[in-house]
Amino acid sequence: MKVVKDLVEHHVEEEEEEYFPESEKMLGKEQMELLGQKYEDWKNDVM
């Protein structure tokens, strides 16, 4: 289980440090916030 946890943590770090900043540069802060809100809405609907 520790291995899975480590892999997930690494994946999250990679997204937060590499992919999100690059996406924000491409889309802009407003679009990123809109996507985040849409994701939260979706997550609340399915859970």
What is the predicted pLDDT for the residue at 12?
A: 92
DSSP code for 47: -
Polymer length in residues for the chain:
47
Please give the pLDDT value at position 18: 93
- Domain map (residue ranges) of the chain: 2-46
Cα distance between residue 35 and residue 30, in whole Å: 9
Residue type at position 5: K
Q: Which amino acid belongs to residue 24?
A: E
- The predicted model scores a pTM of 0.62
How far is it, in rounded angstroms, from Cα 47 to Cα 42? 9
pLDDT tens profile 6-47 = 999 999 999 999 999 999 999 999 999 999 999 999 999 998
Q: What pLDDT is recorded for position 47?
A: 86
pLDDT, position 5: 94
Q: The tokens 């407003």 sit on which residue?
A: 30
CA distance 35 to 41: 10
